[in-house]
Chains A and B, each alone.
Chain A
Amino acid sequence: GAVVSQHPSWVICKSGTSVKIECRSLDFQATTMFWYRQFPKQSLMLMATSNEGSKATYEQGVEKDKFLINHASLTLSTLTVTSAHPEDSSFYICSAIQTGDRPQYFGPGTRLTVT
């Protein structure tokens, strides 16, 4: 149980285009989903928290107009990187939890390369 999928697993896009990443909880309903960013050999940096049916809460320094998050259902959250630039190239990972004190279960991540 507690499987989280993420799609696509990797994507290459041109500068100026937008990319959508999907995060799905496959065998449980996720009250909350999180989006992280990870640079090589570094820790996970929380970008935003999304709850189903409400606006995402963004961490300080994360541009909400650039990283659009939609949590349409209890099993699906999407992250859209708008007008991507090479500095947005990174490993984006989502996670999901059932309730507040349960562990976070991570998706396999999406490696984004912007050329």
Chain B
Amino acid sequence: GQQVMQIPQYQHVQEGEDFTTYCNSSTTLSNIQWYKQRPGGHPVFLIQLVKSGEVKKQKRLTFQFGEAKKNSSLHITATQTTDVGTYFCAGKGSSYKLIFGSGTRLLVRP
């Protein structure tokens, strides 16, 4: 079945450093969504990418969708302590279901 792999599993950075998490799907996706989950909280929708090669920015966050629509990345520039949490990608294939990646835990040292 469809699988979504996400790396790294966790990353510990110094505040001000950049951070990137990567997602790879075993199949072509119709869209990919990114969510952030704070410790003890629930996933919060960040963005949805639909088009091949699409790049979207939200302040310090940059999201990319690969040309083949099988991979995606989230890059955070100059991390802040408020960026702490687990970032999940979730791919949507031909069915209605979202397949979640394993998540990347981001820890930021002040």
Which A residues are within 8 Å of any B CB, using their own CB?
A: 2, 32, 34, 41-44, 46, 49, 93, 95, 100-101, 103-109
Given known pairs A43-B103, A107-B42, the reply for A101 and B30 (CB within 8 Å) is yes
- B contact residues, range: 20 to 34
Q: Is B80 an interface residue, CB under 8 A from the partner?
A: no
Q: Is B44 an interface residue, CB under 8 A from the partner?
A: yes
Q: How many A-B residue pairs have CB under 8 A?
A: 46
Given known pairs A104-B33, A109-B42, the reply for A43 and B96 (CB within 8 Å) is no
Query: When chains A and B are docked, how far (Å) is the Cα of A100 from the Cα of B98?
Result: 11
Given known pairs A43-B103, A101-B30, A103-B33, the reply for A93 and B96 (CB within 8 Å) is no
- Considering only residues 49-107 of chain B, those with a C-beta below 8 Å from chain A are 50, 88, 90, 92, 96-98, 100-103, 105
10 contacts between A and B (CB under 8 A): A34-B98, A41-B105, A43-B88, A46-B97, A101-B31, A104-B45, A104-B90, A106-B35, A106-B43, A108-B41
- Considering only residues 2-20 of chain B, those with a C-beta below 8 Å from chain A are none
Q: Is B28 an interface residue, CB under 8 A from the partner?
A: no
Of the candidates A42, A44, A49, which one forms a contact with B96 in the assembled complex, judged by CB atoms under 8 Å apart? A49
Residue on B nearest A93 in the bound complex, by CB: B42
Query: When chains A and B are docked, how far (Å) is the Cα of A13 from the Cα of B31?
Result: 39
Structural contact, A108 and B103, CB atoms closer than 8 A: no
Most buried by A among B35, B43, B48, B98: B43
- Give me the 3 closest cross-chain CB pairs, A-B, nearest first: A109-B42, A103-B45, A106-B42
Structural contact, A106 and B98, CB atoms closer than 8 A: no
Minimal beta-carbon separation of A35 from chain B (angstroms): 12
Residue on A nearest B99 in the bound complex, by CB: A46
Structural contact, B48 and A43, CB atoms closer than 8 A: no
Most buried by A among B44, B88, B96: B96
Structural contact, A44 and B45, CB atoms closer than 8 A: no
Contacts of A106 in B (CB 8 A): 35, 42-45
Most buried by A among B41, B42, B102: B42
Structural contact, A93 and B97, CB atoms closer than 8 A: no
Minimal beta-carbon separation of A60 from chain B (angstroms): 9
